[in-house]
Amino acid sequence: MDMDMDPQSEKCVMVIDEKLPLGIIANTAAIMGITLGKERPELVGRDVCDRSGKRHQGIIEFPVPILKGDSKLIKSIRERLYEPEFSGLSVVDFSDLAQGCKTYEEFIEKMSKASGPELNYLGIAICGAKKKVNKLTGNVPLLR
């Protein structure tokens, strides 16, 4: 995969269940964003300095729209992302199972015993070829 993100041909979006409480929506976006940054470190721009010379961490170099959905829509998008057509996309999902765990070890154990249909997704982040991302999320409105 090309290590430079081209905003003309690539896109990142998050789809989050709009029915969740605001704090859970924010937490879901934060967790998926951190994981996406680990998965695709090239998305983060270089550090910058302000006029006084103080350094500030680089941030993502382009917008990441937050789209609104419900658990059914997010689950259907997640299932489609397993299809070969979408294999080149980076995907981060966040489920109620993950959100309810107190430790990562608990998450590993519970996830190993869960099957896909049991998972209730709070959100999903998708990054990659713009045409593929739009095919999955092009009709999904912005979360406002």
pTM of the predicted structure, to 2 decimals = 0.90
Domain boundaries, the chain: 10-137
User: Mind giving me the DSSP string for the chain?
Assistant: --SS--TTTEEEEEEEETTS-HHHHHHHHHHHHHHHHHH-GGGBPPPEE-TT--EE---BSS--PEEEE-HHHHHHHHHHTTSGGGTTSEEEEEEHHHHT-SSHHHHHHHHHH--GGG--EEEEEEEEEHHHHHHHHTTPPBP-
Q: What is the pLDDT of residues 19-37, one digit of tens each?
A: 999 999 999 999 999 999 9
Choose the weakest-confidence range: 3-7, 74-78, 85-89, 97-101: 3-7
Share the mean pLDDT of the chain: 92
10-137 has CATH 3.40.1490.10 classification: yes
